[in-house]
Structure formats: C-alpha cells, structure tokens
Structure 1
C-alpha cells in the first residue's frame, strides 16, 4: 500500500463580494488529490482536500515542500501499525520535517489541505464515513445530526436593505435557524442593516454578526455598546485575531456571546487565546478551522488544549463551511458548522439531497468525507485525479 501521486491545482473561487477587510474578486484555493494504489469497487482510492475560503491557494508550498516529503518517504513509514491503512499522524510528521516551531502562517493551510485528503483516503480504504471512523477511533458517540448556520450578508455593489433582507429570508426558507451577516464598515451603515435583518427574521431565527477583524479596540467597544441592545447569536472576530488583550477587553462591554478563532492556525495559538483572550466557556464560541490550521491531526491537539482549559468541544463551531468540519462535528462532538448556501461553490455545501431542517442536517453514510455525494464537486475533483 502506498501513495502514488499527490496532485494540486490552484482554482478560482472569485466573487464580487466583500467583508469589512477584504474583497473576494481574486480569491483562489488549492484542490489536492492524494492518489493511492488501493482499489475499492474497481476504482483507485483517491483522497481529496481543499483549503477554506479567505486564504489563497497554496500550490507553491504544496508542490515544492510538503508533497515531495511524502512521496520521497519510504511507503511503509506512512502506514499504521497494521500495515493495512495510511497513518495520518505519520504522514503529518513527515510533512513537518525540517520545519521550525512557530511561523503558523500559510504553511498551516498547505498542510491542512493535504491532511484533509489523507483522512478522506483513510476512511475510504476502510469503507466508512469519516465521522464514524473518528467516533470509533477517539471514543466518542457519532451523532449524524449536526447544527449548521447560514453565512452571508456580505457587502456587495448595489446591495441595499431590500436585497439583504431577501437573502436572509431565503436562508429561513431553506431551514436555517441562525444566519450571519458582515459588519465593520461603520455603525452608521451597519445599524440599519442589522435592524432590517432582525425585522425580516421576526424571531424565527437568530442573527450573528462578523466584523472580520476590522475594528480597533475603540471601534469594537462602540459597536459592542450598540450591539448589546439586540438579541444576537454572537459578535464575531472584532479585531486582529492575535490581539488577545483586545478580545479580553471587549468582555467588559459586551455581555453576550462572542466568537473568534478562524484565523488562528495552531494548538499553541488556541491555547494563547484561552489563556489571554478573556473567552468565556459558558457562552463564547471557538471557530478554529482544520483546513487552515494544519488539518485534523493538529485539530485533535487543539481539542486537547480545550479540554485542559476546561472547555467543551461543543463550544466549537468551525469556520469554512466544508464537509471535513461537518465530519469532525459529527464524530467528535463539536457544536456545529458554518455553511455557505450560495457562495464559494462547488466547494461549500452538502452532498446532494441533504437538506437543512430546523437548523440541522443529517450526515449521509458516504465513505470518506462524502465528496462523492456532491455531483458538482466530485466532477471537479475527478478531473484533477483521473
């Protein structure tokens, strides 16, 4: 058993939308195929992975550094103790050879992308959904019913209050009970947007708001004083994600739930957030995204950090809107997952036929991560691998 090839393509996911910090008009991602020599049902097992939106494709790092280390390693060194499957931890350690500690930047995205593909292959080799493999391997009870919320509400040229309300209404109509919108341009612009959305929701769903790290402490406090007058699901990523003092200070002004973590890329970053960021385990939410933070192997270390700090994994609702995090949520007891009903396709969303009901989806019993169940996505993936 061995990995024959690792293929990567940098693909556009450009869209004429923006949050308070960046626009997505030139956004890309890396799509990776880990091609094995294992055959199941007459087809070679291929694991697929890609990085989440908001970080660009990592083709250079993947092709020049991390894929060669795997392909140059002795094949048996990448197998588990039974010799009957790949070992994600051994492959992860091989990728990280000759990498200095720290520097958790773009390399965490490159490694996370390959790691996703490895786990997809591992679950396909044993012929079961990844979430069930994770539950069995790490002593959890698999729960195929997963909470999901709809992320949208971006700034868009010509997008007024009527268009914003219509967008949020469409999420309600599709079964979501929590929706999210972007804020951070200015209170003068955002307060009417928030009030318009809340009026449209009319108590049938909750609203979360996301500043995407745009605000200074003073601006974040001003927003907090405005936002605390509304029944929000959370107030997300107010300032720079590494400014833990800013995050801690906000708790003095915002008693409601806050959320952050999508731009932290290691278990060390997560530990520092919990130590110094003033996060409150009874109400706040953690949004670490395995696809941006060295993959599931590292995410397991992050969950151990949470446990030591007295946090439940149920306070994690990952960023990214991808099926990898859905599997982690269902297999390891996370609180749910982000969803992009209309954006970043074909990479976001669920397998065909999966519907949102009362804010939850039910994971289908598809081998691996489940990419083969999403027809528009698997078509793109197989074009790379075959």
Structure 2
C-alpha cells in the first residue's frame, strides 16, 4: 500500500454564531484526501480528513511541511508488517525535524492528515474504524452505542429566551437527552435567566451542561460556580483559560460538582500537565481532548495510556468536535461519549445520515473507514478532491 497523492482544500464552516470568546462567521477548515494505490472493489482507497471547529484551516502548514514530508518519505518506511500504511510511522515522518513543545497550529495540520490516514487504513482492511481500534487497542471490545449530547445554545443575533427554548426542544425531538449551552458572553444575571429557561425545557440539571469557552478569570469562575452549583448541572465546562492549571485546581476546591475541560490542549504533554496540576477529580470530571486538533489519533492513543497510568478511566473522556472521527474513537476505545452538533458547523458537524439518535445514544454503521461517505453534505465537499 502506497500513498500516491495528497490533496487539500480550504472549506468554510457555515455558522453565524458566537460563544463567549469568538464568533464563527469567518471560520474555515482544511479538508484533505490521501490517495493510495490499494484497490477495494476495483477502486483506489482514498482516506479523508478535516479539522474540528474552533481552529482555522491549515493550508500553509500542510503545503509547506507536512504533506511534503509524507510525500517524500521512502514508501516502505511508512508501512507496517502487513504492508499497510502505518499511521504511527506516518506521524513520525510528518514530525521529523520538529522541535518539542509549541503545540499550537501544527497539531491541527498533523491531525487532519492523521485522520485521513486512519480512514484509508480502515478502508483497506474493509472494516469500520471503530472495529479496527477495538481489535488493535481494546481487546476486541467496543460499545454497541455511544452516549452523545447536543451542543448548542450559542449567542445568535436577536435570539431571546424563546428562541433558546425552541432550539433545545428541537434537540430533544431529535432524540438527545442531554444538551449544552454557551454562557459567559452576557452578564451573570442574564445567563442565569438563560439557564433557567433551558432547565424548564430539559427538566433536570443532569440533562444540561454549560460552557464558558475559557472566558473567566478565577474570581469570576468561582462567582459563577456558586450561582449555578445548586442546579445540579451535568458539568461546568472550560470556566478558565485552558493552560491555567493552578486556577483550575483552585476552582476545584470551591466547586464540587463536575468540571469539564481539555478541548484546547493539543498534545499528550499538555494533557498530562492538566492531570498533574489541574486539580481535576477522576471520579466526576470530564476530559474533552479533541483528537482531530491534537496531532490525531496516534497522539490520542498516547494520551489514553497516560490517563490510565494516572488512574483515569477512558470513560471520563468525552471528545470535543462533534464529528464522526471522534465518534468512532469513542465507540472503539470505549470512552464516555461524544459531543454532537446537530445544527451548527455544517457540513462538518454531525454524524452519518443513517445514524439516528435514540434516547441520547447513537450506533455506528458497519461501513469501512470513518463513514464520511454516508454524510451527504460532507461527502459533497470531500468527493471534489477524491
């Protein structure tokens, strides 16, 4: 199996929304196709990848460093013992001549290519990615279904409480039992009214999570936590700057209910620093590392092993991103669930068209690879570079 071509494009993310920190009206994503000489059913195997929302397209880094390194590597140096492309060897080739540290935008570029390589390998073996992962790394065990929650509740222009409630009613109608909403973008009193309005719809605090997107300082995070702690919320997400581990540890002494964070940490080393120094509690807190943004699945596997060594279960991991790649990982590695974007970040958010959510859970199709071809609006973008 050989890589014969790698192509990338920049695609817009169609979301005129905002959280407490940024708006997404100008957000873009990189989409790549890794073309191989392997043939399945008379057609060449092509793997696809893209980056999650919240980080911009990586066209420059892909074209200048990471695609050339893969393309120029000796073909045999990228293969495993079966003659298939080895994602770990590809990762090493991409990261050649890169200094340690500085896990910013390059982690996104590598993650895009890593996703496409795993898609290609699973297709070459004619199995879904979740099954490939279960067989290789989890003793053949996989979850039949994954718990998922609907992420929304963004600040839309002109959107009031009634519109927010209608949005959450829609998610419940789609089969979700838990939802998440953005907070921190308006004064506390206004956010409390928004939270109470959503609780009227979902019925219980455990069915609602709130997300600050790293906006608060410690004093504000503590104040907000005191205001919401009696709601019994599913979790209080990213209340602080993601790299301020000491502040997280301080907040954990003041806020006893579950905290969630990690989506803006892009390496095993940063993930480990959070576990070592962030004061998080493995019996209740949620880790949201996004494999598509953090050097891909090769690095995520290292992160899972690090967590186990520190006494954390993969069940505490609920990846950020709301995409099919993370969903396959959640099922195959038996994580705690996966984020979902049923209405935003088109065409990248959401799952395959034939994967219905029932009672807050979703099963994956028995289709080779990640399953992008079964999501019509996303496949319409990807097939252009196939």
Structure 1 and Structure 2 fold alike (TM over 0.5): yes
| 1:55-70 map, 5 Å | 55-70=55-70
Residue in structure 1 matched with residue 201 of structure 2 by the alignment: 200
Q: How far apart, CA to CA, are the structure 2 residues paired with 1:26 and 1:144?
A: 37
What are the ranges of 5 or more consecutive residues in structure 2 without an aligned counterpart?
none
Q: Tell which deviates more after alignment, 200-209 or 376-385.
A: 200-209
Q: TM-score when scaled to structure 1?
A: 0.98
Tell whether 2:95 aligns with 1:96: yes
Q: How far apart, CA to CA, are the structure 2 residues paired with 1:82 and 1:350?
A: 31
What's the secondary structure of 1:269's corresponding residue? helix
Deviation at residue 204 of structure 1 after TM alignment: 9.3
Q: TM-score when scaled to structure 2?
A: 0.98
Residue in structure 1 matched with residue 175 of structure 2 by the alignment: 175
| 1:253-264 map, 5 Å | 253-264=254-265
Deviation at residue 14 of structure 1 after TM alignment: 3.6
Residue in structure 2 matched with residue 307 of structure 1 by the alignment: 308
Does the aligned pair in 1 maintain the 2:14–2:346 contact within 8 Å? no
Tell whether 2:73 aligns with 1:73: yes
Deviation at residue 30 of structure 1 after TM alignment: 0.3
Q: Tell which deviates more after alignment, 13-22 or 104-113.
A: 13-22
Q: How far apart, CA to CA, are the structure 2 residues paired with 1:111 and 1:44?
A: 23
Q: Tell which deviates more after alignment, 179-188 or 99-108.
A: 179-188
Does the aligned pair in 2 maintain the 1:176–1:205 contact within 8 Å? no
| 1:176-255 map, 5 Å | 176-185=176-185, 186-203=187-204, 206-255=207-256
Deviations 1:163-191 (A, max 9, x none): 00000011111111110000012202200
Does the aligned pair in 1 maintain the 2:206–2:232 contact within 8 Å? no
Residue in structure 2 matched with residue 123 of structure 1 by the alignment: 122
| 1:372-383 map, 5 Å | 372-383=373-384
Q: How far apart, CA to CA, are the structure 1 residues paired with 2:16 and 2:125?
A: 41
Does the aligned pair in 2 maintain the 1:177–1:204 contact within 8 Å? no
Segments ≥4 residues shifted beyond 4 Å: none
Does the aligned pair in 2 maintain the 1:29–1:55 contact within 8 Å? yes
What's the secondary structure of 1:338's corresponding residue? strand
What's the secondary structure of 1:80's corresponding residue? coil
Tell whether 2:33 aligns with 1:33: yes
Does the aligned pair in 1 maintain the 2:177–2:359 contact within 8 Å? yes
Q: How far apart, CA to CA, are the structure 1 residues paired with 2:159 and 2:206?
A: 22
Does the aligned pair in 1 maintain the 2:128–2:368 contact within 8 Å? yes
Residue in structure 2 matched with residue 18 of structure 1 by the alignment: 18
Sort the Cα spacing of 1:242 and 1:248 in 2 relative to 1 into closer, same or farther, 3 A: same
What's the secondary structure of 2:216's corresponding residue? coil
Deviation at residue 25 of structure 1 after TM alignment: 1.0
Deviation at residue 205 of structure 1 after TM alignment: 6.6
Does the aligned pair in 2 maintain the 1:347–1:377 contact within 8 Å? yes
Deviation at residue 374 of structure 1 after TM alignment: 1.2
Q: Tell which deviates more after alignment, 307-316 or 186-195.
A: 186-195
Q: How far apart, CA to CA, are the structure 1 residues paired with 2:285 and 2:342?
A: 24
Residue in structure 2 matched with residue 287 of structure 1 by the alignment: 288
Q: How far apart, CA to CA, are the structure 1 residues paired with 2:302 and 2:202?
A: 38
Tell whether 2:338 aligns with 1:332: no
Does the aligned pair in 1 maintain the 2:347–2:378 contact within 8 Å? yes
Deviations 1:87-139 (A, max 9, x none): 00000000000000001000000000000000000000000000001110113
Does the aligned pair in 2 maintain the 1:37–1:45 contact within 8 Å? yes
- Root mean square deviation, CA, Å: 1.0
Deviation at residue 202 of structure 1 after TM alignment: 2.0
What's the secondary structure of 1:9's corresponding residue? strand
Count of paired positions: 384
